[in-house]
Homo-oligomer: A and B are copies of this chain.
Amino acid sequence: MTGRDGGAGLVPHDPSPVVILVRPQLADNIGAVARCMANCGLFHLRLVAPRDGWPQDRAWRMASGADRILEAATVHATVADAVGDLHRVYATCPRPRHVIKPLLNARAAAGSIREAEGRGLRAGVLFGPERAGLDNEDMAQADTLVRYPLNPDFDSLNLAQAVMVMGYEWWMAADTTPPAQLLTHDTRVATKAELERFLVHLIDQLDACGFLRNAPKRPGMVQNIRHLFERGEVTEQEVRTLHGVVAGLAQGRRRLGRFEDDLMTALEPDEG
């Protein structure tokens, strides 16, 4: 699995924001954060006064191969020291009180970080300790607060989850892959003409088997069948499969017909 190779493929996508964990308590969480960062193309990790010191084996065990991020992480005594070389500092906090500050949701913050990075400014995001979150002094170091508008009845996010949401939005802010597509692999989306040839084949066979024998209802029935197959994109391979399905069913019926003829013949009273 990618990322299980000790993170050999992990290199900084620069510019990318610095993740700053303020007084993190559990090394497990620091490791889980590193894994999330790798998932999201983030690389720069700073730890402000980690409770249990640094480095910690447990972090490496939880990082699932994002070792390079942990190895490059730096430790700082204060938030001020950790943000000293940055131009923009964002602070994540679920319920800021008594603070006058711009407040963005994660998506808007990601856009703001990308915009700053586009102007050559270096950004960092502060994440508070597991239980208490950032205090007012930490927040005073930030120019912008970030709040995720999630379930207000259950708003305690795991530290790695908080980093994941921010990192995911940062990645998505520059993502150019199409939001929706039809996976076709070795085939391609069928053209209208290919689909039409199949519909002609199907309707021929339905005429042949008597399914469409009710003349007044026939146009409506044909239209319903057409609507069904036109509803979504169909691939060229699927059209070929559908041709086969119809042919198979029709042939089976004929074969069954022959079997019935044979059966009838066998059951006929002997003339001898």
Q: A residues near B, CB below 8 A?
A: 1-4, 7, 9-11, 13, 32, 35-36, 38-41, 64-66, 96-105, 107-108, 131, 145, 148-158, 160-161, 164-165, 168, 171-172, 175, 177, 179-187, 232-233, 235, 237-238
Q: Is the CB of B104 within 8 A of A155?
A: no
Distance of A149 Cα from B156 Cα, bound (Å): 26
Q: Is the CB of A104 within 8 A of B38?
A: no
Distance of A9 Cα from B175 Cα, bound (Å): 36
Q: Is the CB of B154 within 8 A of A3?
A: yes
Q: Is the CB of B154 within 8 A of A99?
A: no
A171 vs chain B, min Cβ distance (A): 6
Residues on B with beta carbons closer than 8 Å to the beta carbon of A165:
164-165, 168
Q: Say yes or no: A153-B9 contact (C-beta < 8 A), given A107-B172, A172-B107.
A: yes
Distance of A237 Cα from B100 Cα, bound (Å): 9
This chain: copies in complex: 2
Q: Say yes or no: A66-B2 contact (C-beta < 8 A), given A168-B148, A183-B145.
A: no
Task: Look across to chain B and name the residue whose beta carbon is closest to the beta carbon of A177.
Answer: B149
Q: Is the CB of A103 within 8 A of B182?
A: yes
Distance of A4 Cα from B11 Cα, bound (Å): 38
Selected contact of A108 from candidates B3, B153, B179, CB within 8 Å: B179
Q: Is the CB of B3 within 8 A of A104?
A: no
Q: Say yes or no: A105-B179 contact (C-beta < 8 A), given A100-B184, A161-B160.
A: yes
The 4 lowest CB-CB distance pairs between A and B, nearest first, are: A108-B179, A38-B154, A3-B154, A9-B153
Task: Look across to chain B and name the residue whose beta carbon is closest to the beta carbon of A181.
Answer: B103
Q: Is the CB of B9 within 8 A of A235?
A: no
Residues on B with beta carbons closer than 8 Å to the beta carbon of A2:
152-156
Q: Is the CB of B107 within 8 A of A182?
A: no
A102 vs chain B, min Cβ distance (A): 5
Q: Is the CB of B235 within 8 A of A4?
A: no
Q: Say yes or no: A105-B158 contact (C-beta < 8 A), given A100-B183, A153-B2, A238-B100.
A: no
